[in-house]
Amino acid sequence: MTTTTTTTTTSASIPAPVACSSTHRHCLPCTQRRGSAAASAAAVVALLLATSAWLSLVFSSPSIRLHWAHIRTSASPFRRASPPPLPGPSTRVPPPTGPPNRLRPLSLRHLVFGIGGSAHLWPRRREFVRLWWRPGAMRGHVWLDDRVPRPPRNSSLARSLPPVRVSEDISRFRYTNPTGHPSGLRIARILSETFRLGHRGSRWFVLVDDDTIVCPDNLVAVLAKYDWTEMAYVGSPSESHSANTYFSHAMAFGGGGIAISYPLAVALAGMMDECIERYPKLYGSDDRLHACISELGVPLSREYGFHQWDIRGNAHGLLAAHPVAPFVSIHHVEAVDPIYPGLSTLGSLKRFTKAMKADPMSFLQRSICYDKRRKLTFSVSLGYVVQVFPTIVLPRELERSEQTYIAWNKLNNRNEFDFDTRDTYRSVCKKPVLFFLRDIERDGNTTLGSYRRVKGRDNLKKKVFCFPRTPPLPDMNEIQVFGTPLSENWHLVPRRLCCKLNQRRYGTLKIAVGQCDHGASGSAAGSL
């Protein structure tokens, strides 16, 4: 056969290579067959490596898969589409360089106030602003809709007020709410107009109305809890359930005050005019501001010391049952009765702010203690009133606000309010005897408040209808309350204060009120 012959010939001598046709592949030389085998082996090895890489990609850990994906993407001749950019750069303000302890604590100089008012009401309401404004220690402006006569530059009136500015024209903006007023547009822009003035070193912008009383020290303490280099929106909703339902339960009402951190102010100042154009149907300024903040995705940080005070009438029930939180503000001070009996609205607010300045953190904080032998209950609201009940009243009931007021919409049912309320006592035999603050002084770290008995119309009824049970403390005309300062961090984890009844002498009862010791219980902590 040809194959045998060829083999024999090859073993005898090495002839010239024999040309083979494509149909006789078995006639290839040995060297060519070895080359073909090597190529096949290389292909098999490549296939095994590829298979191994694929298996490792499928069954490996996430970190390894990311590594292979990176290699494949970098080797790919196609460019992968990048994700769409976020809407605007980050507005986080980097902290100052250096060790963290070099960051100065928050102070009044870091706050910038924007006070909204009107030229028509300013001559009267400026007296309210004078009660809490601190010239030289505070920064900000009053924003009016028109010019007003300026007091003499060196007069006490001019030195005791923030500078007044006139807001920009708002006629170019749409306003279609049928029941509101376009001034809501102007007041909503106070933040951006204040920001553009370039207050150096500012960390917070605080917006309030000209009929609002503010406690600056407590405001600083509350805002110090937050990181001002992040977007923060601080305030409180209304006391009225109807108002919160109409506007938003997550909105800070402007009368009670709105605090906005610097990064959020930066973002709002850049979008405010464009944003308010999207909301021509809204009612006022605070709901427009809330709408723009909602577009940025920043939620409300609620603080219970901000009080919108959407109430009318007698505010006694709210002041006597203030939340266990630092008092920051009250609004609508002209819409309620004078806080202290027998005084005008302005006279009451002067006494109110005097007590507030004497010991800001303790102001309006409550304490409950008992005289078990006489079965009397003492409920103290520092700087405002001492209530003496003729029976034992448990703290759970006293913590509810007695409904001595009506809502802003003139409704007076309990479901109208977004906090715990209780009905007033109908029986004169259950009503407390009230001792309202008459004066307060500070002696070092201690405050001494004098609370005088109020003789009301029910005194005669109590003597007649409650016999033989006489009204409590019939021979007492004054209660002196000694207050000790609270710790610097009390407001971080607040607790109702403790009190202790001291001796009675010459028609005067003394009560000591202060921060409870750890683990304090019994009558001093308000329990039986």
Burial class of 138 by CB neighbour count within 10 A (0 to 12, 13 to 18, 19+): middle
Rg of the chain over CA atoms, in angstroms?
Answer: 39
Between 528 and 107, residue with greater pLDDT: 107
The packing angle between helices 122-132 and 345-358, to 10°, is 20
Is it the case that residue 21 has pLDDT exceeding 50? no
pLDDT, mean over the chain: 84
Q: Report whether CATH 3.90.550.50 matches the domain 108-302.
A: yes
- The reported pLDDT for the residue numbered 91 is 45
Q: How confident is the model at residue 470 (pLDDT cuts 50, 70, 90)?
A: confident
In this structure, what token pair is assigned to residue 202? 């500012």
What pLDDT band is residue 201 in, cutting at 50, 70 and 90? very high
Q: Which of 458, 468, 452, 464 lies closest to 431 in space, CA to CA?
A: 458
Band of pLDDT at residue 474, cut at 50, 70 and 90: confident
Superfamily of domain 359-514: Mannose-6-phosphate receptor binding domain (2.70.130.10)
Mean pLDDT for 13-20 is 38
Read off the pLDDT band of 46 (50, 70, 90): low
DSSP string, 458-518: HHHHHHHHTTTSPPSSTT--EEEEEE-PPPTTGGGS--PBEEEEEEEETTEEEEEEEPPPT
As a whole number, mean pLDDT of residues 356-372 equals: 96
* Residue range(s) occupied by CATH 2.70.130.10 in the chain: 359-514
218-272 confidence digits (pLDDT tens): 999 999 999 999 999 999 999 999 999 999 999 999 999 999 999 999 999 999 9
Q: What is the pLDDT of residue 45?
A: 60
Indicate the pLDDT class of residue 8, thresholds 50, 70 and 90: very low
Q: Summarize pLDDT for 95-150 with one digit per residue, the tens.
A: 444 444 447 899 999 999 999 999 999 999 999 999 999 999 999 999 999 999 98
Residue 503 confidence (pLDDT): 73
Averaged pLDDT, 381-387: 97
Give the per-residue pLDDT at 225. 96
Q: 511 vs 15, which has greater pLDDT?
A: 511
- pLDDT tens-digit readout, 247-257: 999 999 999 99
Q: Does pLDDT of 64 surpass 70? A: no
- Give the pLDDT score at 426: 87
Reply yes or no on whether the pLDDT at 94 is more than 60: no
- CATH 3.90.550.50 in the chain is located at 108-302
**Confidence band (pLDDT; 50, 70, 90) for 28?**
very low
Kindly provide the residue ranges of all beta strands, DSSP E only, lying in 285-427, ordered along the sequence: 300-302, 306-307, 311-313, 329-330, 366-371, 376-381, 385-389, 401-402, 405-407, 421-422
CA distance 482 to 502: 10
For the stretch 387-432, pLDDT in tens is 999 999 999 999 999 999 999 999 888 889 999 999 999 888 899 9
